[in-house]
Amino acid sequence: MKNKKILIIGGGVIGLGIGWQLAKSGAAVTIYERAQAGRAASWAAAGMLAPLAEAHIEEPELLKLGSQSLALYPQWVRELEAAAEMSIGYRVEGTLIIGLEPDDTHQLRHLYASQQDLGLDVTWLTGRAAREIEPALSPRVTAAIRCESDHQVDNRLMVKALQRAYQRCGGVLHENSAVESIHIENGIAAGVKTRDGEKQNGDVIVLSAGCESAQIQGLPDAIRPPVRPVKGQMLALQMEAGITVKNVIRTVRARYPMSVYLVPRTDGRLIVGATTEEMGFDTRLTAGGVFELLRGAWEAVPGVYELPLLETWTGLRPGSRDNAPILGETPIENLIYATGHYRNGILLTPITAYEVSKLILTGETSETIAPFRVDRFLA
Ligand SMILES: Cc1cc2nc3c(=O)[nH]c(=O)nc-3n(C[C@H](O)[C@H](O)[C@H](O)COP(=O)(O)OP(=O)(O)OC[C@H]3O[C@@H](n4cnc5c(N)ncnc54)[C@H](O)[C@@H]3O)c2cc1C
């Protein structure tokens, strides 16, 4: 198995994470990356590791997968930081989900009840108790839910570390090298062709091209992964003395079109996100998007009004039809999918990397990822 030649399409956290695990075990791995590794959704993300705060009662399988991946994080961080000799900014302060008026409190109570039904580790706080934890919060905060076990990582540091760790154990990375098509022969994936005409044979092909995974040619339409881009606008502020937060803050806004989150980084940046827009591959920032982010952040933490605005950007989440990732074998032999991680790809990187690399090395799909195969979408 270790002598297999593995070709990975896409060098985001998912492709790099799988590539690193495989290269570490001695496999011959090549990643083809259309532009620069780790500069797409994996760069744009907020880095929240938040299965509880993101939990939706109607998505129990996804909640389970997210919680399993979160549990792997401490070991993942230790291994990755040692291999890359750099920090990836892992923080364990937790998340406060806050409401700002009575309607929000009703919505928070509903969320809290759902979380309790699921047996999640959450605590109800009054507005005052929330402000004791985070004094910069608005005096308008009516109530909050504390999710102590939701953590965060600096995703931009994580992609750098993954690239370094991958290349240090012999992984090959071709940047500015877009794969045009996957070559399939008699129902077996046999290689890839790049846009500049290079053909490469491989024993296993992994498709992890994020929101562009459905664009690769050569796949029969029936098994094309149903992944689409979902735009998110983001911005970063510079925290200053007196206007700092330690926890991730998320708002619940019953009467507004948009809630926001504020994610404090160890380097003093405060990431504010994010819009959720079905705009195809459009990556333009809009006045309305930035306005809503700033308004939401200011309502939660009024002091942000004074903070320097450092950066604005957009990213495209790879959204699948049911919001869950698409992982594992496909009806085409030797073709593996690892895509569609939507709003949880940073959280789901360790479990995806460990499970997909194990599948490639042993040929066995674990029960953990079996529910996420592309089969679920096939008629
Ligand atoms: C605004 C925003 C906020 C987010 N916040 C969070 C968060 O807080 N927590 C969390 O867990 N997740 C978050 N996410 C989601 C997370 O970023 C993604 O799920 C994750 O990055 C997906 O990783 P990926 O490697 O599949 O995709 P990407 O990082 O997009 O990587 C795919 C790569 O494939 C390359 N590629 C595409 N086509 C080809 C081709 N034909 N040939 C070769 N290469 C190709 C691309 O250039 C790209 O580098 C957020 C996303 C966004 C946009």
- CA of 34 from ligand 1 middle (Å) equals 13
- Please, what are the domains in the chain? 5-78+155-226+321-377 (3.50.50.60), 95-148+229-319 (3.30.9.10)
- The per-residue pLDDT for 2 is 58
Q: Which numbered atom of ligand 1 lies nearest the CA of 180?
A: 41
- CA of 345 from ligand 1 middle (Å) equals 7
Residue 323 beta carbon below 6 angstroms from any ligand 1 atom = no
What residue owns the CA closest to ligand 1's atom 6?
Answer: 45
- The per-residue pLDDT for 59 is 80
Q: Which numbered atom of ligand 1 lies nearest the CA of 42?
A: 21
Residue 47 beta carbon below 6 angstroms from any ligand 1 atom = yes
Q: Which numbered atom of ligand 1 lies nearest the CA of 339?
A: 26
Residue 265 beta carbon below 6 angstroms from any ligand 1 atom = no
Residue 115 beta carbon below 6 angstroms from any ligand 1 atom = no
- The per-residue pLDDT for 206 is 98
Which pair of structure tokens corresponds to residue 156? 């931009």
- CA of 102 from ligand 1 middle (Å) equals 36
Give strand ranges (E) for 197-334: 199-201, 204-207, 227-238, 248-252, 261-264, 269-273, 309-320, 326-329
Q: If we measure between CA atoms, which residue out of 360, 344, 329 comes closest to residue 65?
A: 344
- Amino acid of residue 190: A
DSSP 354: H
- CA of 67 from ligand 1 middle (Å) equals 20
Q: Which numbered atom of ligand 1 lies nearest the CA of 234?
A: 1
- CA of 344 from ligand 1 middle (Å) equals 10
- CA of 100 from ligand 1 middle (Å) equals 32
- The per-residue pLDDT for 57 is 65
Cα 219 to Cα 308: distance, rounded to the nearest angstrom: 47
**Ligand 1 site-directed mutation target among 147, 279, 346, most atoms within 8 Å of CB:** 346
Task: State residue 144 phi and psi, 5-degree precision.
Answer: -155, 160
Q: How many of the other CB atoms lie within 10 Å of CB of 283?
A: 15
Residue 233 beta carbon below 6 angstroms from any ligand 1 atom = no
Cα 222 to Cα 226: distance, rounded to the nearest angstrom: 10
Q: If we measure between CA atoms, which residue out of 357, 273, 356 comes closest to residue 317?
A: 273
Q: If we measure between CA atoms, which residue out of 9, 83, 111, 12 comes closest to residue 349?
A: 12
DSSP 57: T
Sequential pLDDT tens for the chain (379 residues): 557 899 999 999 999 999 999 999 999 999 999 999 999 999 999 999 988 766 666 788 898 999 999 999 999 999 999 999 999 999 999 999 999 999 999 999 999 998 888 888 899 999 999 999 999 999 999 999 999 999 999 999 999 999 999 999 999 999 999 999 999 999 999 999 999 999 999 999 999 999 999 999 999 999 999 999 999 999 999 999 989 999 999 999 888 778 999 999 999 999 999 999 999 999 999 999 999 999 999 999 999 999 999 999 999 999 999 999 999 999 999 999 999 999 999 999 999 999 999 999 999 889 999 999 999 998 6
The Cα-based distances of 63 to 85, 256, 341 in angstroms read 31, 26, 13
- The per-residue pLDDT for 145 is 97
Residue 324 beta carbon below 6 angstroms from any ligand 1 atom = no
Residue 24 beta carbon below 6 angstroms from any ligand 1 atom = no
Q: If we measure between CA atoms, which residue out of 155, 224, 150 comes closest to residue 14?
A: 155
DSSP 240: B
Cα 156 to Cα 163: distance, rounded to the nearest angstrom: 11
Cα 188 to Cα 36: distance, rounded to the nearest angstrom: 29
- The per-residue pLDDT for 345 is 98
Residue 250 beta carbon below 6 angstroms from any ligand 1 atom = no
- The per-residue pLDDT for 54 is 67
